[in-house]
Structure 1
Amino acid sequence: MSLHLNGSPLSRRSLASAACSLSAALVIACGAAPEAPPETHEGVSSAALTELVVNGTFSGTTTAPWWSGPNTSSRVDAGRWRVDVAGGTVNPWDAPIGQDGIVLANGQAYTLSFTASATAPVTVRATVQLGSAPYTAPLDQQISLDGTPRRFTFPFTSSLSTGAGQVTFQVGGRGAFTLHLDDISLTTGSSTGSGPLGMTSGFYVDPNSNPATWVRNNSWDSRAARIQSAIASRPGARWFGNWSGDIASAVSGFVAAADAADKLPVLVAYNIPGRDCGSHSGGGAGSPEAYRTWISNFVTGLGTRPAIVIIEPDAVAQLDCLPNDTERQTRLGLLRYATEQLRARAPNTWAYLDGGNATWIAADTMAQRLESAGARNIRGFALNVSNFHTTAASASYASAVNTALNNRYGYTLPFVVDTSRNGNGSNGEWCNPGGRRLGTPSQVGGGAELLLWVKVPGDSDGQCGIAPNTPAGTFSPDLAIRLIDGT
């Protein structure tokens, strides 16, 4: 694993054009063909979506056909659904609200989104489920609310076919409070218009990446123009770890700069204790408690701004290097905590838990580890980070992981692939191998939900391979040129 040392309220810009955006490749991967031929624009495809709920905007005077169950009463209040929840209940389902008659198809991708707030800090349950016993729920999410209206977006794939589905919000067991809901939408497909992709006009190019900094400082070098054109001008991730200083400030500054440019930033959280098994990129937080504080502050820095986050490259795959089961369970617990923080406090972030690469961990084992690490709390999983396997090989492995997830736990997840250096595939080596090439630049679709340059091309993997004297995370113009040329 290679160390990388470069270290506002929801915008409504571009909503008119983004509202019907959809990655055609994602829809196909989830088992449904696009409803119309997609028109590709800046890496985002668009197609018509089907809205399944009625009266999700509460623009009239009635809440119908939404119903209020026991221990709730509701009305339209200032263009929102106001639900007064009684106290004295024990379980979330003791005070339900919802809408019936939702048609679901097995294998179809859907996106539930809504804006919500509450008069007291509470955690409530949002589901899309069968409307009668056994109440099978393809989507079942816990959300944390307070007085600030926040937008929540949950993509999922249905595991059942029924005309008797329902959308519910189960709000019991939390005492008396008032819930406000608005802009409730359940659409077929995974709409980029309702997620961070639809909130921005493309991926963010980091002006302070290692390649960009090297180009600025070495404009006289004959290699600078080629590195600028092929690498420094391309969107890529910024890695954050124990070198980043005040992590909340560092993250906030990065996502704020991207937000100001109307672009989508990609961040990597890389600070798990015992990182990289003490190898080239060893380090990380000094204790579990320190990591919880660090990742909580990382999420604070994100806020409600749009972002993509890759969680702890190699941490799941490298469980085997930890000396005992206690330490393995501790790491899984820390990763679960990270996913829970992102789910609860970063509503416009799509987060992906790292799942190794196509030849590292058996798919069934990886599925078990992803489940234990809390992958169902977030958007999905990431593959091939800092590695070289082809996108096709990664997609095949992702399919096997999702098959295992579905067989064991009843769900599947979207995935992303690091394509920064996979243009020539893998030769079996991982640490600065020769003969590798830049892969497809960051885009929506193309064999995965997203193709991303997660590893910074030209940054060394460590003192190894064709860069035996270049420490991990240090930019090498020679490595960069060899990736450009495939030599």
Structure 2
Amino acid sequence: MRWITRGLVAVGLTLALTAPAATEAGAATQLIQNGTFSTSTTSWWSTGNTPISVDAGRLKAVVPGGTANKWDAMLGQKMPAFPIHQNHRYTLSFDASASATREVRTTVQQNTAPYPATLDKVFTVDTTIRRYAFAFTGSLETVNAELTFQLGGVAGFSLWLDNISLVDNYGNVAGSPVQLTNGFYVDPNSNPKLWVDDPQNQNHPDRQAISASIATKPMGRWFGNWSGEIADAVHRFVGPADAADKLPVLVAYNIPGRDACGGHSGGGAGTEAAYKAWIETFAAAIGGRPAIVILEPDSLGDFQCMTQAEQEERTRMLSFALQQFKTLAPNTWTYLDAGNAGWADASEMARRLNGVGVGVAHGFSVNVSNYYTTTQSVAYANAVNTHLGAAKPFVIDTSRNGNGPGADWCNPPGRKLGTTAQQGGGAEMLLWVKVPGDSDGPCGIGPEIPAGQFSPALATSLINGG
């Protein structure tokens, strides 16, 4: 099956059996041969009890039942052998589905006894094709590594694999996602677009206005603990954007203790370890494809509602997240959220940004989900920059700032849509980060609308500015 993206993944061709090479100067090194199975299973092997074949552009493995161990039924790639280096960062990603729900094990290991593994993951497949992504740090130094999928120890089933990629991220050089794309991505599955396309709303009096003014505009897609398998969720958004040569905006919103100051969007990953695994997979799922990521809105603004220990934990998590995007998603610009003009003092926000290590980020974001004017937000961001060790680019959420702030931040009346996504405008970019029409919570002019739920009444109020 043909699957082409920039730089990091194999294309739909059977490749010659040559040593792995970087796809472009400064790019990650692809270690897998023929990961797209357009015409053959060349470079892939399997145990005698697990025949493999090409089935509609995917690798199909027929796995026997009755085996005792995972390694009793296997497939993988070890010829030509590829190197693994200690302390290099790697990303394994692939599409998989099965004829029934099964647990599968994948390893990257030395292909000689005792087969020490630097990656060893068990994951679940079912009848839905999903994208999987695993990032890991090399713990071996070998030129004889192999990739395996270990399938035994369960009832018989069929497994399909496609778009298999294993990249060594060492030497990644960051690229500009703006230069790699042609305009911003319009989310075909945003809440307002889904509402517009719902047959039940075809005769709604506000449908045309919502379609023209909101649903057809570029805006962010928010990801959190509601997103399911995060690798698959991210891939299903970034993949179509990349295919369309457009730049997607993603919002990572899953920090433990989220919305700590008593807002309506509490939650997040349960533990620091869970968050680190989630955000690492998030970054790995983007890979080399161009993207914008807004990292954890409100996470630094909430400090005044947290204990010192909680602040230190959050600082660790955000620092970790920034490093993952830098290493695993080199063509992504990550903006660490810095609150808004009415929250923390600029010098205090700069202190928090510096504490996390904002130098690792491309920049910072302001006014996410808020209403301060672009002029107010530019002034605030510039003030923050005067207190940073080195000034950073910034983006402004202009989704709802056309009339400036109201008396309250939560679904206030009289607000209006702001400037649609563009480069410049006083910042590096003006973006619709918050989805216009999505409720801030059961408050203001949406007293019965849960946070994140789309409301045509809220959307129309923003269109009309009243």
Distance 1:318 1:396 in 2: 21
- Normalised by the length of structure 2, the TM-score is 0.65
Partner residue, 2:149: none
**Helix, strand or coil: the match of 1:326?**
helix
TM alignment of 1:38-187, pairs within 5 A: 114-115=26-27, 120-121=84-85
- Equivalent AA in structure 2 for residue 420 of structure 1: S
Partner residue, 2:61: none
TM alignment of 1:24-39, pairs within 5 A: none
Partner residue, 1:412: 391
2:413 to 421, 427, 434: 434
- Structure ranking higher on relative contact order (CA contacts 8 Å, 6+ apart): 1
Partner residue, 2:194: 213
In the alignment, is the contact (CA less than 8 A) between 2:397 and 2:431 conserved in 1?
yes
Q: Decide whether aligned partners of structure 1 residues 309 and 184 sit closer, same or farther in structure 2, where only a CA change above 3 A counts.
A: closer
Partner residue, 2:375: 392
Partner residue, 2:265: 281
Q: Decide whether aligned partners of structure 1 residues 79 and 256 sit closer, same or farther in structure 2, where only a CA change above 3 A counts.
A: closer
Distance 2:217 2:246 in 1: 13
1:349 aligns with 2:332: yes
Q: Give the drift of 1:327.
A: 1.1
1:477 to 451, 456, 460: 456
Partner residue, 2:439: 460
Partner residue, 1:424: 403
Q: Decide whether aligned partners of structure 1 residues 79 and 275 sit closer, same or farther in structure 2, where only a CA change above 3 A counts.
A: closer
1:201 to 179, 182, 192: 182
1:326 aligns with 2:326: no
Q: Decide whether aligned partners of structure 1 residues 413 and 121 sit closer, same or farther in structure 2, where only a CA change above 3 A counts.
A: farther
**Helix, strand or coil: the match of 2:370?**
coil
Partner residue, 1:261: 244
Q: Decide whether aligned partners of structure 1 residues 445 and 334 sit closer, same or farther in structure 2, where only a CA change above 3 A counts.
A: same
- Equivalent AA in structure 2 for residue 430 of structure 1: W
- Normalised by the length of structure 1, the TM-score is 0.62
Distance 1:319 1:291 in 2: 18
Give the length in aligned residue pairs. 325
CA deviation string 1:164-205 (max 9, x = no partner): xxxxxxxxxx9999x9999999xxxxxxxx511111111111
Distance 2:424 2:186 in 1: 19
**Helix, strand or coil: the match of 2:334?**
strand
Distance 1:465 1:202 in 2: 34
TM alignment of 1:299-378, pairs within 5 A: 299-322=283-306, 324-378=307-361
Q: Give the drift of 1:457.
A: 0.2
Q: Decide whether aligned partners of structure 1 residues 122 and 451 sit closer, same or farther in structure 2, where only a CA change above 3 A counts.
A: farther
**Aligned-residue CA RMSD in angstroms?**
2.8
- Equivalent AA in structure 1 for residue 213 of structure 2: A
- Equivalent AA in structure 2 for residue 265 of structure 1: P
**Helix, strand or coil: the match of 2:251?**
strand
1:11 aligns with 2:19: no
In the alignment, is the contact (CA less than 8 A) between 2:250 and 2:294 conserved in 1?
yes
2:366 to 383, 393, 397: 383
Q: Decide whether aligned partners of structure 1 residues 260 and 327 sit closer, same or farther in structure 2, where only a CA change above 3 A counts.
A: same
Gaps of 5+ in 2: 8-19, 31-82, 93-139, 144-167
Gaps of 5+ in 1: 1-7, 13-77, 81-112, 124-143, 149-173, 186-193
Distance 1:228 1:200 in 2: 24
Distance 1:9 1:121 in 2: 27
In the alignment, is the contact (CA less than 8 A) between 1:418 and 1:453 conserved in 2?
yes
- Equivalent AA in structure 1 for residue 334 of structure 2: A
